[in-house]
Structure 1
Amino acid sequence: MFERLYDTSETTKVNFVGFASENARYDFGLVYTNQFFGKPLVICMQTGRSSLLCAEDAKNIDVLKKKFAINEDEEARELSTFLQGQLPHTNHGLPQY
């Protein structure tokens, strides 16, 4: 009834990071995998929201505000700075899906 697109198992690296700024506290799980064009899966442990992001994606505060339900630009800028230091850079222009 369903067409299986893929079924892959792999051993992954998961990094749990937390930090506090003057505006908020953050707790994230960063799942590094060979899937998803080299972009880690970034999971907010407080809200359960997740997104595939690389360092270049993290520069866009509008994307972060939308993906992680952040209302304030300053809070998104803090998260952007933090994630840019944690996530790998990619050398391709593939959009996230």
Structure 2
Amino acid sequence: MSLYERLYDESEKAKVRFVGFISENGRYDFGIVYTHMFFGKPLVVCMQTGRSSLLSLEDADNREYLQKIFNLRTREEAEEISIFFKNNLPSTSIEAEAEH
């Protein structure tokens, strides 16, 4: 008897972007993995803490979530990160872009 049931086991070539920037409130380093998995939501990894999350543009508006998931100290940091993601995450999923 199997100890687990495999849900998926996929391989793909993914686009990865590494972005680092500094603001009045701190330094930020992120890896953004654009994938066809997870409904086209990019996987965002904070390179400083190792924390990660799947993020859409709608998620980027949720500053409280960003503050919690990336362990940000202040609301100002969450606001900066929100603005950055709203300007740098795709507005549509990769699947939708591939169809055009």
Scaled by the length of structure 1, the TM-score of the pair is: 0.89
Long gaps (5+) in structure 2: 94-100
* Structure 1 residues 90 and 63: alpha-carbon distance in aligned structure 2, compared to 1, 3 A threshold: farther
Matched, 1:37 2:39: yes
Q: Percent identity?
A: 63
- Give the greater-gyration-radius structure (CA): 2
Structure 1: 4+ residue segments shifted above 2 A: none
Q: Residue 15 of structure 2 is aligned with which of 9, 13, 16? A: 13
Which protein has the bigger helix share? Answer: 2
Q: Which residue of 2 aligns with 1:26?
A: 28
SS in 1 for 2:86: helix
Question: Take 2:81 and 2:64, find their aligned partners in 1: how far apart are those partners?
Answer: 11
Q: Residue 54 of structure 1 is aligned with which of 50, 53, 56? A: 56
SS in 2 for 1:11: coil
SS in 1 for 2:36: coil
- Count the aligned residue pairs: 91
Instruction: Name the aligned partner's letter for residue 37 of structure 2.
Output: Q
Instruction: Name the aligned partner's letter for residue 45 of structure 2.
Output: I
Scaled by the length of structure 2, the TM-score of the pair is: 0.87
RMSD between superposed Cα atoms in Å: 1.1
